[in-house]
Amino acid sequence: MLGHVAEDLLASHNREYDVEPPYDIAEAGDLPADRFSDRELSWLAFNQRVLELAENELVPLLERAKFLAIFASNLDEFFMVRVAGLKRRIAAGVAVPAASGLLPREVLDRSLSRSRELMDRQAESWRKVVLPALVEEGIDILRWDELNLSERDDMSRFFAERIFPVLTPLAVDPSHPFPYISGLSLNLAVVVRNPTTGGEHFARVKVPPLLPRFVKVAEGRYVPLEDVMAEHLGQLFPGMEVTQHHTFRVTRNEDLEVEEDDAENLLAALEKELLRRKFGPPVRLEVEESIDPQVRALLLSELGVTEAEVFELPGPLDLRGLFAIASLDRAELKYPGFVPSTHPHLAEVETANPADMFHALNQRDVLVHHPYDSFSTSVQRFIEQAAADPQVLAIKQTLYRTSGDSPIVDALIDAAEAGKQVLVLVEIQARFDEQANIKWARQLEHAGCHVVYGVIGLKTHCKLSMVVRDEPDGLRRYAHLGTGNYHPKTARLYEDLGLLTSDPVVTEDVAHLFNHLSGFSLRSGYRRLLVAPQGVRTGLLERIEREVQHHLAGRPARVRLKVNSLVDEALSDALYRASQAGVPVDLWIRGICTIRPGIPGLSDNIRVRSVLGRFLEHSRIFWFENGGEPVVAIGSADLMHRNLDRRVETLVWLKEPDHLTELGDLFDLGFDEGTSSWWLQADDTWVAHQTDDDGKPLRDLQERLIATRGRRRQTEPIS
């Protein structure tokens, strides 16, 4: 246990992170009570937009299959976290309405109903749209009855050699209780009859998760793994008659709850909680629509799910397996190939090799835009060069999510082994990456890195890297501040921004923030950063109010925000008031948005757009017109309670005119009516704008950026 002195220090440290009481939306009495849509239903609307990409014939076919898989994966997480949370609140007797005015029970009922509609739509999109299109392209996803005799023989051999050895049938009888069904596992419910006694028995057989979800039968022909298993169940129950088999799948509460009392040994507490995750209560049961009523009733009874939590669907269940189909080597059925290029300010003139990062950053700040600008020759190169440079004395790094074979982790280990001071702040509570982050944390510790786990009661979500280098004129700091994780693989799929800089003001701010995170610093003020939970909400509120004052004084005023989600009521109300004052407000939101635009007298001046495509729009940009001299920030924070109150987040104000121009052009492109996007309406519906009046496709923003990035590299001067 901590000693009394340490406890006192810890208490004073945590008081710095005390947040104001939750914003009382009733205080805004002059604003209508129904001004917010529900965040859970808004998230489901986002996943509907993902589904619409799967239905869009303008999207390459295998990409449409992938979007079906993404939709399924997204919905799994929604149930594991959001639906599970609603059920916890209801069970605890929480009767406080959400900002939308809905009680937890109402939100749960509407979420289940809407989820049912979307799952039915997904199944229909698969069976009637995507599957027939795949067949036309020579990719057949078959059921067992559609295989020819030769293929059935091949699958029988495959079953005997690859499947049968790993199967474990679990019977249910007085001596065998109903087995535990792990979350997201695919299972066969089997009914067998004893031919001697006539007695019937129930058994469960788990579909092995490490075998291919769709088994390749022949070139271009695949069959679901559970179909192969179902046809050979007699081999698992010799002497018995298999009378029924039905596929089912359970989703469980898999959100983690680590008690703050355990925080002094957070690593051990989290590992213990990860074990509990496997045994979370069920929140959804998916069954094939052909299931026998008695088997269905048995599953409901034994699993403890309600009728509203049962989803009957046509097979095959669990379309996440389509990720494998989407990865087939059929380039003509995918988005055109794209290879990120080195940012021109980070490439040598003659050789086009990666530049000396420290020399380049002494010349200017560099704003990188991934995946259009290569992550490996910018951010990764920055850390790798620092690890190898004998003049570098120290590296400080935050890690929220990273990949299993991360060159970032390897570089940090190399730096520590070379004798450099390496501090790594690992967020081991990054949802669904906890186990991996524990592994990397221990690996870094064993290599000699100083590993810390952030601040008790908060997640460290900011994206920061700092290098301290001994140079002829003294020590100099270099930093990277980004909107996305240090994850080389997702950096090729996620759209993000990052600032590479040696600006002494920014790097001093970053240094103080690292000291705050790893020690007992009481500093809360920064010159070029906004830091949550103390400063992001208040800083943005001040900026919005300044825009109102600029507008009232007749100066140029405008607010433009690009975030993944907008939920925070205080900021939303500030945007409503800015709109009422006449300030144009443009909101570029990928996911959740609880603001209602276009309501007369309230949000006439608010526009909300959403862009989805081959890359996941993930950057966060905060633009304020500021009387004609724009101030712009990028950072890690979305506008949600968890980001602003329960996480360490950072925004950095940009100062280079060309960076402001680049981001201004990006906003102009995103809100141009010739750009394909979804538009949010006052009634909470999203309308797709993907073709013009003549039916021609509108501009694909991401494809345009790929093209313009290429042209920029051909024309822009390189230092």
Residue 520: band (very low, low, confident or very high) from pLDDT cuts 50, 70, 90 = low
- List pLDDT tens digits, range 421-454: 999 988 766 454 556 666 777 778 788 788 887 6
Question: Residue 94 has what pLDDT?
Answer: 79
Q: What is the DSSP string of 209-240?
A: TTS-SEEEEETTEEEEHHHHHHHTGGGTSTTS
Residue 11 has pLDDT above 50, yes or no: no
Q: Please name which of 534, 597, 606, 610 lies closest in space to residue 565, comparing C-alpha atoms.
A: 610
Alpha-carbon distance of 332 to 539, in angstroms, equals: 48
Residue 522 has pLDDT above 50, yes or no: yes
Q: Please name which of 673, 639, 369, 676 lies closest in space to residue 494, comparing C-alpha atoms.
A: 369
Residues noted as catalytic: 461
Contact 496, 367 (CB under 8 A): no
Question: Residue 406 has what pLDDT?
Answer: 82
Mean pLDDT of 281-298: 95
Q: Which residue has the higher pLDDT, 620 or 407?
A: 620
Mean pLDDT of 147-167: 96
Mean pLDDT of 167-181: 83
Residue 719 has pLDDT above 60, yes or no: no
- List pLDDT tens digits, range 331-362: 999 999 999 999 999 986 434 455 799 999 99
Residue 279: band (very low, low, confident or very high) from pLDDT cuts 50, 70, 90 = low
Cα→Cα distances 291→72, 198, 501, 552, Å: 21, 22, 60, 65
Say how many C-beta atoms besides its own lie within 10 A of residue 96's C-beta: 8
Question: Residue 595 has what pLDDT?
Answer: 98
Structure-token pair, residue 634: 């990028």
Contact 675, 701 (CB under 8 A): yes
Mean pLDDT of 528-553: 96
Q: Are strands 494-501 and 616-617 parallel, antiparallel or unpaired?
A: parallel
Residue 667 has pLDDT above 80, yes or no: yes
Mean pLDDT of 484-503: 94
Residue 524: band (very low, low, confident or very high) from pLDDT cuts 50, 70, 90 = low
Average pLDDT along the chain = 88
SS (H, E, C) 237-260: CCCCEEEEEEEEEEEECCCCCCCH
